[in-house]
Amino acid sequence: MTDQSPTPAELLAARYGSDPGFDPPQWNQTLTTLLQHRSVRRWLDRPVSEDTIRTIVAAAQSASTSSNKQIVSVVAVRDAEQKRALAEVGGPRQAAHISTAPVVLVWLIDTSRIRASVERARREKPVIEYTAAEYLDEVLVGACDVGINAQNAVIAARSLGLGTCFLGSLRNDAERVGEIIGAPEHVVPFVGLEIGYADPEEPAGVKPRIPQGAYLHWDRYDADAATDVGEYDRILADYFAQYDQPGSWSAGLVSRVGPKAVKVAKRHLLRGVFERAGFSLK
């Protein structure tokens, strides 16, 4: 998104908020695109063309699919009324960027093709069943494959000069999202992805991540290294201070996993949503 391309060392230093302690043996434009990622939450009033969305979705479909199940579908929401309705589900902190995003991709865990194949096969062999739908793993496969598909969309969008923002908050009320997009019974909206042209005035940058030493382990997991994030707390506090925001990573974590956060986001109701959609989660 800039004309002056930063060096790999600069990109890595921004990503970790410190020297990562290694030199990449090779570099390319795709790595620059990946490393420069940030979420965009302020949009220019500029539409995204239908063929641009199709191109991004072709990239999403090009990703791996667990057991070739192709358990993912997506609805591209551009209608203003529908976006306002999605913004209501997202809640007050997300509403402004949801309703103003040129397009919101709603990613679905979609077993309709599996169910149709099983139904057809049962006509000849009534013993055939969709047993996988009874177990937790099927929903986890859906969640992971949505992540894999949607991330390809993120990278494709960014390579085309567009910004994105994930919306886990659509799971605050997945059934309401299903109504908004007309999803049938067995299709569960899992995550949203806003796409548009970033407002260059947005006060946000590349947010540092935990040190690579906490994230990456060699052959065996190192429990001490995994939780060695005290310095990171300071790095992230400095990052937030740049944008006049208070807080540290640890404090944010604690508030986001407590009883109040769960209830506000209605995540205690999500199991029922999946059960009603035909997943037994055994």
**In the window 122-151, what residues touch a second copy (CB under 8 A)?**
128-141, 143-148, 150-151
Q: Shortest approach of a second copy to residue 36 CB, angstroms?
A: 8
C-alpha to C-alpha distance for 94 and 31, rounded to whole angstroms: 29
Q: Is 89 in the site for a second copy (CB under 8 A)?
A: no
Query: Which residues in 32-71 contact a second copy (CB under 8 A)?
Result: 33-37, 39, 49-55, 57-59, 61-70
Q: Which of 50, 74, 70 is CA-nearest to residue 62?
A: 70
Of 17, 41, 43, 72, the residue at the interface with a second copy (CB under 8 A) is 72
C-alpha to C-alpha distance for 100 and 44, rounded to whole angstroms: 9
| CB-based burial label for 266 (10 Å; 0-12, 13-18, 19+) | middle
154 to 193: interface string for a second copy, x by CB under 8 A: xxx--xx-----x-x--x---------xxxx--x--xx--
Q: Is 214 in the site for a second copy (CB under 8 A)?
A: yes
Q: Which one of the spans 76-84, 90-98, 197-205 is the region binding a second copy (CB under 8 A)?
A: 76-84
Q: Is 101 in the site for a second copy (CB under 8 A)?
A: no
The gap from C-alpha 68 to its chain's centroid, in whole angstroms, comes to 21
Q: Is 237 in the site for a second copy (CB under 8 A)?
A: no
Q: Is 262 in the site for a second copy (CB under 8 A)?
A: yes
C-alpha to C-alpha distance for 249 and 240, rounded to whole angstroms: 10
C-alpha to C-alpha distance for 46 and 103, rounded to whole angstroms: 10
Q: Shortest approach of a second copy to residue 197 CB, angstroms?
A: 13
**CB closer to a second copy out of 44 and 63:** 63
Query: Amino acid identity, residue 110?
Result: D
What are the residues facing 187 on neighbouring strands? Answer: 110
* Side-chain half-sphere CA neighbours of 52 within 13 A: 18
Q: Shortest approach of a second copy to residue 27 CB, angstroms?
A: 8
